[in-house]
């Protein structure tokens, strides 16, 4: 019997068994019924014939058996005195905490993505329009690696400047500042000597 004949037949045990088998592979009811019958019509026929979907079991079952089958599948543990307590609340808490963790991870990824987008935008606009008077000198030479210690106030000032002129490399900003400061110092000393 092919899929079309099966889904349009009145043999509900076979139809439900087929649908449940297909759902185990990850298909939804609309995918199973595609090209044969509409999902809404199939859902209506399933309900009319006394079946319902159990979210807990993830299968279609007879409506009258649903509560019994779900209770049979629910995990329980014994507490003193022989009573049983359902673990559903504990599982829901774990699931909720898992969702919170995933939400936090997604938010962190989105924040990182926004930071990257801002950086890319600042790199795409090499001339920062905040202050057109200052243009770092672009050196054609290979940089020479020199290291020196800076005071915390100098580092803060450099970071502030770097944020203000985010379109430029920090290396170019510092080199330009050093060249300009030395040039001003030389002019100042030359004018004092002369």
Tens of pLDDT, residue by residue over 98-144, are: 666 777 778 787 787 777 777 776 665 554 444 445 566 666 677 77
Determine the Cα angle at 153 with ends 149 and 156, to 5°.
Answer: 95
Query: What was the pLDDT predicted at 183?
Result: 83
Query: What was the pLDDT predicted at 128?
Result: 47
Contact between residue 165 and residue 122 where contact means Cβ atoms under 8 Å apart: no
Strands 59-62 and 51-54: antiparallel
Q: What is the C-alpha separation between 37 and 55, in angstroms, rounded? A: 23
> Which residues face 77 on adjacent strands?
85
Tens of pLDDT, residue by residue over 133-192, are: 556 666 667 777 777 787 888 888 888 888 887 777 788 788 888 888 888 888 888 887
Domain boundaries, the chain: 3-73, 76-124, 131-194
Tens of pLDDT, residue by residue over 30-83, are: 888 888 888 888 888 888 888 888 877 788 878 766 555 555 555 554 444 444
Nearest residue to 33 (alpha-carbon basis) of 59, 66, 8: 8
């Amino acid at each position: 019997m092919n899929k079309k004949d099966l889904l349009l037949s009145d043999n509900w045990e076979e139809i439900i068994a087929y649908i449940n088998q297909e759902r185990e592979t990850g298909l939804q009811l609309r995918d199973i019924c595609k090209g044969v019958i509409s999902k809404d019509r199939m859902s209506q026929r399933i309900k009319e014939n006394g079946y319902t979907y159990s979210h807990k079991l993830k299968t279609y079952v007879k409506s009258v058996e649903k509560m019994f089958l779900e209770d049979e599948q629910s995990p329980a543990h014994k507490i003193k005195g022989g009573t049983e307590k359902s673990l559903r609340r504990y599982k829901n808490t774990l699931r909720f905490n898992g969702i919170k963790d995933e939400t936090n991870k997604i938010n962190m990824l989105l924040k990182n993505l926004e930071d990257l987008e801002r950086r890319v935008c600042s790199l795409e606009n090499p001339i920062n329009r905040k202050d057109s008077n200052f243009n770092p000198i672009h050196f054609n030479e290979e940089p020479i690696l020199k290291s020196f210690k800076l005071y915390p106030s100098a580092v803060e000032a450099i970071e502030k400047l770097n944020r203000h002129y985010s379109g430029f490399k920090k290396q170019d900003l510092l080199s330009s500042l050093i060249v300009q400061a030395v040039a001003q110092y030389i002019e100042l000393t030359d004018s004092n000597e002369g």
